[in-house]
């Protein structure tokens, strides 16, 4: 009996060990149903372990680069699986193209073919992943549903961001603004740095390369306080406001589950306008904060965009790194404003139209890009022909600024309807409901259906309307409370996220998914 007991105990121990090992392997391997993001519990644990090793290598440049590159590639593997090879292909391709281009420039020769090769490779990748489904759908719609038997293409996470980043690197070398990096590991670092890899912001190589090559990284007390405030604030915006608003009201409203009244349609548009801002800017804040904790400074990507009084000002405040990229590498390449007024307006429209296609190949994205391109062109005409017209709200008189801000907000909100609607039929239905099925009496029953969502919406807009000085004062306050206070702030923010996730799971029966911009 004793031997039998020992045998069973040992067998149970090994069986338990096999089960633990199997779960551990499953946790470490890519799982398409549970991709790794900066807000996941697994990332929090992995980042803590990563941080322990980072402390040992942060002031040894080469080891620091290798260490961060390995973690970044693993992060992307947990996010997109086999598409990590695509990221490495782009990195190796443009690293070699950049070096070849620079050697030709040193000999006084043109490097145009190298730039063209980089653009063709990178744009081909984007076209394949972004446009294949659209063109297959068009062909099948014209010639029959079975004409092209093609499985839907899975878009790798962040492909638009690392492709645009790589194109900019090669173009900067061709313009003589930077020299090519000497080590492939440095370029992979530039392309794959995990806080920014997934959803940006896009960084300028001339500003980020010196940080990679710096012998030491420095994180001041103020830097750490700012990082904590960015991460905590980003978590609230992204994982509490955006997710709860989207899942409790916006998604059901666009799906027709909240009724077809004009009130529902209008509030859904207002809701998505706030949701997409909190989703993207919140995640960008988290990325900035995580990078700052490691001693790397990423550019601001948002600056209270709904404070904008003109569409020009909006694009200086919204997704700043993308609008800067479009201006420097597309608008200027098309001729910018150097070839007369008509070409300036046309270049603006083409740039924004292509910006719409960058988000997705479809009629709604084309319409969204055209809307913003036409609005920017018309605003330039307005500034030219109307005496005293201003480009920025800060230059306007108070009442005019208020009216201009309301107009710009509603123009942008209409654009977001185009952006999120699955087709133009949905756009037409919602506009029809607002125009012909709107009754102020419907507001109370609509709000009663999802009180939590509307409380969150009101809170979100209230926070967004606060002056920038309040935000800066809060960040100084976070810095002043010291490490223990900052730890408490982080714990409270994480607790709020966990409570929100539990509430959504109970109310909707599903956990919060990836960021909205993960699809682009």
Same-domain check for residues 89 and 141: yes
The pLDDT value recorded for residue 242 is 95
Q: Are 281 and 468 in contact (CB under 8 A)?
A: no
Domain that holds residue 116: 30-213
Count up the domains in the chain and report the number.
Answer: 2
Cis check for the bond before 202: say yes or no (omega within 30 of 0).
no
Tell whether 363 is covered by a domain. Answer: no
Q: How far apart are CA 215 and CA 330, in angstroms?
A: 34
Q: Which of 467, 122, 489, 36 is closest to 329 using CA atoms?
A: 122
Tell whether 319 is covered by a domain. Answer: no
Phi and psi at 401, nearest 5°, equal -65, -40
Same-domain check for residues 237 and 208: no
Same-domain check for residues 201 and 90: yes
Same-domain check for residues 173 and 66: yes
Asked whether the whole model's pTM tops 0.85, one would answer yes
- The yes-or-no verdict on residue 54 having pLDDT over 80 is yes
* pLDDT confidence band for 286 (50 / 70 / 90): very high
Q: Are 506 and 247 in contact (CB under 8 A)?
A: no
- Exposed/middle/buried for 441, CB within 10 Å: 0-12, 13-18, 19+? exposed
Same-domain check for residues 175 and 279: no
Q: Which of 107, 114, 213, 123 is closest to 173 using CA atoms?
A: 114
Tell whether 162 is covered by a domain. Answer: yes
Same-domain check for residues 146 and 239: no
- The yes-or-no verdict on residue 41 having pLDDT over 90 is no
SS3 113: helix
- Exposed/middle/buried for 503, CB within 10 Å: 0-12, 13-18, 19+? middle
pLDDT tens for residues 348-400? 999 999 999 888 888 999 999 999 999 999 999 999 999 888 888 889 999 99
The pLDDT value recorded for residue 45 is 86
The pLDDT value recorded for residue 11 is 52
- The yes-or-no verdict on residue 40 having pLDDT over 90 is no
Rounded mean pLDDT, 180-194: 95
Same-domain check for residues 275 and 200: no
The CA-based angle 370-200-489, given to 5 degrees, is: 125
* pLDDT confidence band for 13 (50 / 70 / 90): very low
Same-domain check for residues 164 and 240: no
- The yes-or-no verdict on residue 191 having pLDDT over 60 is yes
The pLDDT value recorded for residue 512 is 63
The pLDDT value recorded for residue 14 is 52
Mean pLDDT of the chain: 89
Chain centre to alpha carbon of residue 475: 23
- Token duo for residue 57: 């290598």
Last residue of a domain, one of 170, 185, 213: 213
What's the count of helices (H) and strands (E) in the chain, helices before strands?
Answer: 23, 0
Rounded mean pLDDT, 7-17: 53
Rounded mean pLDDT, 490-503: 89
Tell whether 318 is covered by a domain. Answer: no
pLDDT tens for residues 310-358? 999 999 999 999 999 999 999 998 998 888 889 999 999 999 999 998 8
3-state secondary structure 318-369: CCHHHHHHHHHHHHCCCCCCCCCHHHHHHHHHHHHHHHHHHHCCCHHHHHHH
Last residue of a domain, one of 191, 213, 235: 213
Q: Are 161 and 202 in contact (CB under 8 A)?
A: yes
Tell whether 322 is covered by a domain. Answer: no
SS3 437: coil
The pLDDT value recorded for residue 378 is 96
- The yes-or-no verdict on residue 288 having pLDDT over 70 is yes
The one-character DSSP state at 242 is I
Marked catalytic residue, from 183, 307, 319, 359: 359
Tell whether 51 is covered by a domain. Answer: yes
pLDDT tens for residues 120-157? 999 999 999 988 888 877 777 777 666 666 677 788 88
- The yes-or-no verdict on residue 87 having pLDDT over 70 is yes
Same-domain check for residues 110 and 202: yes
pLDDT tens for residues 441-450? 889 998 888 8
DSSP string, 260-297: S-HHHHHHHHHHHHHHHHHHHHHHHHHHHHHHHHTT--
Same-domain check for residues 300 and 196: no
Tell whether 348 is covered by a domain. Answer: no
Q: Are 435 and 230 in contact (CB under 8 A)?
A: no
Tell whether 495 is covered by a domain. Answer: yes
Same-domain check for residues 200 and 243: no
Last residue of a domain, one of 184, 213, 242: 213
Same-domain check for residues 187 and 229: no
Furthest-apart CA pair in the chain: how many Å?
101
Residue 432 falls in the annotated catalytic set: no
């Amino acid at each position: 009996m004793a031997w039998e007991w020992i045998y069973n105990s040992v067998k149970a121990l090994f069986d338990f060990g096999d089960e633990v090992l199997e779960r551990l392997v499953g946790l470490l391997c890519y799982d398409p149903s549970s991709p790794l993001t900066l807000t996941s519990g697994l990332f929090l644990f992995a980042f803590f372990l990563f941080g322990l090793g980072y402390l040992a290598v942060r002031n040894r440049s080469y080891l620091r680069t290798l260490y961060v590159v390995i973690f970044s590639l693993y992060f992307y593997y947990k996010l997109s699986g086999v598409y990590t090879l695509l990221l490495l292909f782009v990195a190796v391709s443009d690293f070699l193209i950049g070096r070849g281009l620079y050697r030709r420039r040193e000999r006084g020769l043109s490097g145009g073919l190298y730039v063209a090769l980089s653009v063709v490779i990178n744009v081909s990748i984007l076209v394949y992943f972004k446009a294949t489904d659209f063109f297959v759908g068009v062909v099948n719609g014209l010639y029959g549903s079975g004409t092209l038997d093609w499985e839907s293409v899975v878009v790798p996470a962040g492909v638009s961001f690392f492709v645009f980043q790589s194109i900019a690197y090669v173009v900067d070398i061709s313009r003589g603004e930077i020299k090519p990096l000497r080590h492939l590991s440095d370029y992979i670092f530039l392309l794959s740095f995990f806080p920014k890899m997934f959803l940006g912001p896009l960084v300028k190589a001339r500003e980020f390369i010196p940080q990679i090559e710096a012998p030491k990284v420095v994180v001041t007390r103020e830097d750490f306080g700012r990082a904590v405030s960015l991460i905590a604030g980003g978590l609230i915006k992204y994982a509490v406001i955006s997710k709860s608003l989207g899942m409790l009201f916006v998604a059901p409203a666009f799906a027709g589950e909240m009724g077809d009244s004009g009130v529902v349609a209008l509030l859904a548009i207002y809701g998505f306008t706030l949701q997409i801002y909190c989703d993207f800017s919140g995640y960008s804040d988290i990325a900035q904060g995580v990078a700052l904790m490691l001693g790397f400074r990423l550019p601001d990507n948002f600056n209270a965009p709904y404070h904008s009084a003109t569409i020009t000002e909006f694009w200086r405040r919204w997704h700043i790194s993308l609008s800067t990229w479009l201006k420097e590498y597309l608008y200027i390449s098309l001729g910018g404003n150097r070839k007369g007024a008509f070409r300036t307006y046309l270049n603006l429209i083409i740039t924004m139209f292509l910006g719409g296609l960058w988000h997705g190949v479809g009629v709604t994205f084309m319409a969204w890009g055209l809307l913003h391109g036409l609005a920017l062109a018309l605003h330039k005409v307005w500034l030219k022909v109307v005496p005293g017209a201003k480009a920025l709200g800060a230059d306007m008189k108070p009442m005019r600024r208020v009216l201009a801000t309301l107009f710009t907000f509603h123009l942008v909100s209409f654009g977001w309807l185009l952006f999120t609607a699955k087709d133009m039929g949905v756009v037409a239905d919602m506009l029809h409901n607002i125009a012909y099925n709107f009754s102020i009496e419907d507001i109370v029953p609509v709000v009663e259906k999802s009180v939590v969502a509307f409380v969150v919406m009101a809170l979100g807009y209230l926070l967004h309307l606060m002056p920038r000085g309040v935000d800066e004062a809060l960040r100084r306050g976070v810095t002043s409370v010291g490490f223990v206070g900052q730890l408490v702030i982080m714990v409270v923010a994480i607790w709020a996220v966990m409570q929100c996730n539990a509430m959504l799971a109970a109310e909707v029966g599903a956990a919060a998914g990836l960021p909205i911009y993960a699809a682009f």
